[in-house]
Amino acid sequence: MKVRDLLKDNVIFCYADEPVECAVAKMYAANVGSVVVMDRANRPVGIVTERDIVRFLAQEIDLKTPLEQVAKKSLITVSPEESIVSAAAKMIENNIRHMPVVEGGRVVGVISIRDVLRALVTAEAIP
């Protein structure tokens, strides 16, 4: 099974110059655990996750702070053509729970560790 098989229709994102509260609102509205941070040319430049939001609150970072100042910039990505096992290995190796799927420099989706685990369990249960 390939990463492409896990993709949903839309990518939840905020622009780098938008505030942290944009990420909070979009995660809440879409019931997701991460938001991709994009530049105004729609290129991925970072990611903000639920864990990051908790850290921001603990550090008393103002929710009006632009995402470009606080988002993780070392973006770990996966190709839609990579196997799910390869994606799982990247997530474990980098201790991450959300990973943008990038094709041709464009984000085409985001997968979570839950998506990967569900696919692996399903594949195991139905050989």
pLDDT above 70 covers a percentage of the chain that reads 98
pTM of the model: 0.89
Condensed to tens digits (0 to 9), the pLDDT of residues 42-88 reads 999 999 999 999 999 999 999 999 999 999 888 999 999 999 999 99
Structure tokens at 123: 């594949």
Closest CA to 75 of 99, 93, 97, 59: 99
How many whole angstroms from its chain centre is CA 46? 9
